[in-house]
Chains A and B, each alone.
Chain A
Amino acid sequence: MPDGNDGAVVRALRDPIDALARLVGGLGTAVLALLTALVLIVVGALCLVGVGLPLLPWALAAVRAVADRERQRLSRWGEEVISPYDPWPGGWSARLRAAARDPATPRDLRWLFVHAVFGFALGLFGALLPLLAIEDLTRPLYMWALPPGTVTTSVGIPAGGWTGMVSSVSLGAGWVAILVGLGPAMARLQARPGRRLLAPHPGLDLSARVAELTATRAAALDAHTAELRRIERSLHDGTQNRLVGVTVLLGAARRALKHDPALADGALEQAQSAAEQALAELRAVVRGILPPVLEQRGLGGALAALAAGCAVPCRVSADVPGSRPASVDATAYFVVAEALTNISKHSHARHAAVEVRQTRDRLCVRVEDDGRGGAEEGAGSGIVGIRRRVEAYDGHVTLSSPPGGPTVLEVELPCVL
């Protein structure tokens, strides 16, 4: 009977409970904002004495992380708040310049301090309301057991005797009334700075982002076409040719059988090895499309199997719970396979390490080795292929390989396509 009185009761209860959940959630981000603001103040002070500058991009990244958390929270409770950032460039000075140019930075900072103070206060008050209400409403049940004169209500009024009991209960009812009556408004008030300051700047030209998305989409389609062409070619020019070779050799063997059995045997031998080659090529093609091991063992197991087959001792740590689009796992697998091939072939490394982590919406892959470094894009390395495939999925590739090593390849793949 959702339309009867029960429905009205549920609705009446739901709004304040909703508001309470929002206020508590806001308190969470406010605590983070408060901590980040303190860090920022410390880093700012260090900047004044000249040593804090390299820490600044790191602190700003923390601000962005907290701001993004608030955006997610707000998006859960209402209209979506879009993250306005461009991807971070590499290197701390480039990051600093990018942050200084970004119109989102001052808005983030204003929000950070406002939310750290007012959001915190509102959230704390909101979170205390039900506790205070329970305390004051239930006091008459146990106050007789306490020594007289020591009992006070939550706001400090003495609560002895009947009058005290009445004032305690009515105070508790007051807290409930505040929560029911003002809760939703308080939650909205707490969310307001975020909604105003964390949304993309009204004057911000989204056309750049649109252009980027259009370009990556086109790149994805290109990559898709290139992928299909690669598969078509390897099937036609590889597998199919091998099989035609098999039929040709079998035909020759059958013809030779009558007059020259030795020749027939040679042709059959060749036909068999051609059939084996066809199978090997077919396996390679299939592996290139979607490695079967991924389906059987998941990304972590598949990477462990890759590492086990690597010529250089390789440690894998994979923290990848849940499921992602198959193409993301396949790309991550491809990246690690290429990187490990590179390491085996070129790096002269003694150890390698693969680390894969899943954050909220990204899959981060990091492959490191202690080899001689100096890896470059082009020069027949697989890095170009990695970059092409990763960027087709709107991901990022960073390669650091100073002469002498170590070489670190980092790849970030968006998991929500």
Chain B
Amino acid sequence: MRVVIAEDDALLRAGLELLLRGEGFEVVAAVDTPDAFLAAVDETPPDIAIVDVRMPPTHTDEGIKAAVAARRRHPKLAVLVLSAYVEESFATDLLAEGTNGVGYLLKERVGRVERFLEALHRVAEGGTAIDPELVAQLFAHRRADDPLDRLTPRERDVLALMAEGLGNVAIAQRLVVTEGAVHKHIRNIFAKLDLRPTEHTDRRVAAVLRYFESTGR
């Protein structure tokens, strides 16, 4: 799989390269500015781009802007954005134009290599990867009469993993339950939250995020 890395911290860039090369990825470019990133993507569109949020010149949200711009130019491009901290507005900007092939993770998730690679593959294949921390934040601000309160704790776990972008198989593995049990939980969740049932993972993430969007604030 061909990867472009945009990260302005030299050590982190080298670490990512080392890790991905070791896992058999082809790192076609590792750059440190948004402009160099866009140029690299234009030259050889990769399967996935890994982009740091804070990059020169202002070190605020250049990475998000670059990721959005790159996806406008190459709609099929999968982008995984890495951030030092969770900022909902960054995620909103990033996910505004669709959740297919988009990921938003905290930087330190990279250290848990297996999960990180799982998320990387999921995004590269057109899925979604949302950081559990962001999902937790979305859960955190709820209204008093939120239908989420009607969910059982287990259903809430399933909903959180769905929001992260995991498929049924992965959810079943994480929670150590059968796929059939996950199916049942998801049906219940959609019924309780009054969402149209859909089994397709990426549309499901969008639906869940829209749910949070509409009720969460």
Residues on A facing B (Cβ under 8 Å)? 233, 236-237, 240-252, 254-256, 260, 263, 267, 270, 274, 277
Q: How many A-B residue pairs have CB under 8 A?
A: 67
The reply to whether B9 and A248 contact each other, CB–CB distance below 8 Å, is no
The answer for the CA separation of A266 and B81 in the assembled complex, in Å, is: 27
B18 within 8 A of A: yes
The reply to whether A254 and B15 contact each other, CB–CB distance below 8 Å, is no
Q: Which residues of A contact B111 (CB under 8 A)?
A: 244, 246-248, 250-251
The reply to whether A256 and B22 contact each other, CB–CB distance below 8 Å, is yes
Binary contact readout B1-17 vs A (1 if CB under 8 angstroms, 0 otherwise):
00000000101100110
The reply to whether A233 and B11 contact each other, CB–CB distance below 8 Å, is no
Residues on B facing A (Cβ under 8 Å)? 9, 11-12, 15-16, 18-19, 22-23, 54, 59, 84-85, 107-108, 110-113, 116
Do A254 and B113 contact each other (CB < 8 Å), given the known contacts A242-B11, A267-B18, A270-B15? Answer: yes
Contact partner of A236 (CB less than 8 A), chosen from B12, B22, B85, B112, is: B85
The answer for the CA separation of A267 and B12 in the assembled complex, in Å, is: 12
| List of 10 A-B pairs having minimum Cβ-Cβ separation, nearest first | A247-B111, A248-B15, A251-B113, A251-B111, A252-B19, A244-B107, A241-B9, A245-B11, A236-B84, A248-B110
Contact partner of A237 (CB less than 8 A), chosen from B18, B23, B54, B116, is: B54
Do A252 and B15 contact each other (CB < 8 Å), given the known contacts A243-B108, A244-B110, A263-B22? Answer: yes
The answer for the CA separation of A233 and B12 in the assembled complex, in Å, is: 16
Q: In terms of DSSP, what is the predominant structure of the interface of chain B? A: helix
Which A-chain residue is minimally distant from B20 (CB atoms)?
A252
The reply to whether A251 and B19 contact each other, CB–CB distance below 8 Å, is yes
Q: Which residues of A contact B59 (CB under 8 A)?
A: 233, 237
Which B-chain residue is minimally distant from A248 (CB atoms)?
B15
Can you name 24 A-B pairs with beta carbons within 8 Å?
Answer: A233-B59, A236-B85, A237-B54, A237-B84, A244-B12, A244-B111, A245-B9, A245-B12, A245-B15, A246-B111, A247-B108, A248-B15, A248-B110, A248-B111, A249-B15, A251-B110, A251-B113, A252-B19, A252-B22, A255-B19, A255-B113, A260-B22, A267-B18, A270-B18
The answer for the CA separation of A244 and B108 in the assembled complex, in Å, is: 5
The answer for the CA separation of A245 and B111 in the assembled complex, in Å, is: 8
The reply to whether B12 and A241 contact each other, CB–CB distance below 8 Å, is yes
The reply to whether B54 and A248 contact each other, CB–CB distance below 8 Å, is no
The answer for the CA separation of A267 and B23 in the assembled complex, in Å, is: 14
